[in-house]
Structure 1
């Protein structure tokens, strides 16, 4: 009876953590790129095509599996009501993934319960659960692979899970590769079923891209590489790293180019990891997997100048795992260790994320969404085009066909970038003649001002400062403390 009760304690922690994090739904903080995936899913519903603009095929989303999951949620709940159920689903999957991770690295049920909750309220875990991205599913699938594939040694898991993981994101090849190498070194044997799973995963992902889209990798990867590619000297690379490393290992972004707080956390993570692997424990097998993966993933993406913070959410969590294990398993003054961790790190991180979510949710949902809603009412012809950046909230809520500056949702602009990188924006306007332009800049100033003045009129100005008010004085102080968003000018083509 006691064993059954103890067995349920981590499950209670899962339920409590999910319910606790649902409070963040009230902030309406949803990542811009989630709306790209959701529009692709709805495009599949409306046109039977995985695309973004009508019946044109394009891999505008970074994730194929999540597109199909989003498609199912749209079918079940409808376009107007699917978002909250999907976010709850993501949160549940992530938290179950943390339960499986707890089973891999801890024995005591109460330790597992505390681990699940504390992991679950770290900033990256909140963002994985609530921001609408594919990482809730991804984290769940990766932990299922480790727990049922490598701990329980289910051969079918070793075959099927790599396929699902790679179909979620192709860059998960890093995770699968690190797991493969650690497993060979640790066990001194080759799991042929896992190799088969890897081959099938790569084959399915590449074949799907090739036969459906006519490309080997997602268009999103090609577009970002094309626009953001820069040739740096060694000195510039070092400077770039120093400017940006603190955004990732420290779980929060701080202004400035030196973040001592990040260095402290980084050193503590390393010390805890070294302390744990010196013990003769079976779990070291999994600690090596997740810790090496966390480092390799971050270093690879930092080296490629990939500064989108969602790339680092899962590594941030996995690198912090040794810290929680170390603290939870202290035999002397454990309560002091745990209390100090909670008071001086977990609570400040949670407070920071809460303020960040409220402020950013205001900037995205209450501000940027307003632009899309305005256009949705103003322009009834949904076959009209808008040129803008980014391609999330505004295209989704306006329903207009869209050309984004990066080329994530429209390939033709990539041709303009290749031909003339400096002038690709104005060249796109001249060649495509979109009815609407949404720009950060005043287009009536600068070298191309005369063209814009001749062919376009300023329809409306959207300003962040106009959305920093609230009847709730606490919310208003947060909005003003951390204003989120960008000022925009909306232009409409003048009829000839």
Structure 2
């Protein structure tokens, strides 16, 4: 019996080791490099910023900045990435252990659950892409396990603070948990209320006292640039065209994704089947399922189409399917085999190819642009205007103006004054030494200015990067080419 009780721990270890193979793909999200540069800016200048001594909340997450800072401090700037990604993977997988304890009783079921949910596409991305969601998932599941299952008062106070410092939008998760708890127990956990108030007060106070703003600059910048006026009918059409690509595990092009809609229906049916059993775990199933729905609806309604916003909800909404299959008393092996053969394995295969292709496009292409500039330009006080602000600024070391304004607030002023022409106005007023653009700047209305003041330095083309000595890898690169064609311009002396 004691040996069986250790099975979930063994599953955690095995799952982490299995997923570390994906580190070989170098599949790291652009935004991770923004956070890591902020952490290194804190290391070099003692300031949470992006460009030297200028304070700016360029990263969405404060807690992960501090964690990244510690890993840079311990392992050095050259060697911290792999240890940090391993740490993220361990934390996320321990979070799935907590979730298994909350929803399952049989140790074998828990072990299988931990591995199967751990190799789904969102789980792999949470673990290896370098984002803050490994820490976030761990903290959220730890709150449910220690605070609401084990009734630890310290957990009800501590975890809401840490969760809010990881991402400010986690107020959605904390609020759903609060409402379900009140409905279920007919009483208020005042320690949790106190923890939630401390969490909100501490993050808002930190933002205001350190940055002079209540919410992170990343939120303000995206809202400013991407905000558009939609009619009610346009809002509905936008939602209907988008929702099917986020409730499942795949984000596919087009307005209709039948795979994810089938999964959505199956998730609902399994959830209804489980909560009708009147088990104690229903308390937690309601929490995670309502949160999954609410988080996705809120973010889709706000036109937030970055897929990392949906990783955690995707997994939590899939939990009822895994529980349903694992607890079948008759033909369990048939159900499990069907799930693995027709869903889990294809998803794993897809994510493997996606990670190989995207990792190649990011690490061996976009990173190369940064390394090229790092070698060419030794004066790291020179500026570059580009989008996005991940790989190229990180590996070039140049001061950066990004199109959205995540890492440089001055461009937001230009957006407010003249949104249609803010790019050329920024170039004229700031005169950055380098421009990195998707477009040919020597064509169009402002071509004369660019031709007078800048010259084309180098062209970077995706087609030149789709080569490998390994024929299988080359086929994968061509199957899913990743990256963007760029033109690099340098200011005339």
Please give the range of the TM-score, normalised by the shorter of the 2 chains.
over 0.9
Q: How many residues align?
A: 493
Could you say which residue in structure 2 is the equivalent of 1:413?
A: 411
Within 5 A, what are the aligned runs for 1:56-455?
56-455=54-453
Report the 3-state secondary structure (helix = DSSP H, G, I; strand = E; otherwise coil) of the residue aligned with 1:112: helix
Q: Deviations over 1:233-276 (max 9, x none)?
A: 12211221222212211211222211111110000000000000
Unaligned runs of 5+ in 1: none
> Per-residue deviation at 1:320?
0.2
User: Within 2, Cα distance between the matches of 1:96 and 1:250?
Assistant: 23
Contact 2:245–2:256 (8 Å) recurs in 1: no
Dislocated runs of 4+, deviation >4 Å: none
CA deviation digits over 1:55-88, x for unaligned, max 9?
A: 0000000000000000000000000000000000
In structure 2, the residue corresponding to 1:279 is in which secondary structure?
Answer: coil
Alpha-carbon distance in structure 2 between the residues aligned to 1:349 and 1:235: 34
1:76 is paired with a residue of what secondary structure? helix
Q: C-alpha deviations, 1:394-431, integer Å up to 9, x for none?
A: 00000000000000000000000000000000000000
Residue 357 of structure 2 contacts residue 480 of structure 2 at CA under 8 Å; is this kept in 1? yes
**TM-score, normalized by length of structure 2?**
1.00
Partner Cα distance (1:380, 1:191) in 2: 57
Measure, in 1, the Cα distance between the counterparts of 2:481 and 2:437.
19
Give 1:6-21 correspondences, 5 Å limit.
6-21=4-19
Q: Could you tell me whether the CA contact under 8 Å between 1:386 and 1:434 is conserved in 2?
A: yes
Retained in 2: the 8 A contact 1:104–1:283? yes
Q: Name the Cα RMSD after superposition.
A: 0.5
- Whole-Å separation in 2 of the counterparts to 1:246 and 1:399: 40
Q: Secondary structure at the match of 1:189?
A: coil
Q: Write the deviation string for residues 83-103 of structure 1: whole angstroms up to 9, x where unpaired.
A: 000000000000000000000
Partners in 1 of 2:250 and 2:352 — Cα distance? 12
Match of 1:492 in 2: 490
Distance in 1 between the 2:452 and 2:316 partners?
A: 55
TM-score, length-normalised on structure 1? Answer: 0.99
| 1-structure distance, mates of 2:243, 2:369 | 34
Asked if the contact 1:246–1:254 (Cα under 8 Å) also holds between the matched residues in 2, the reply is: no
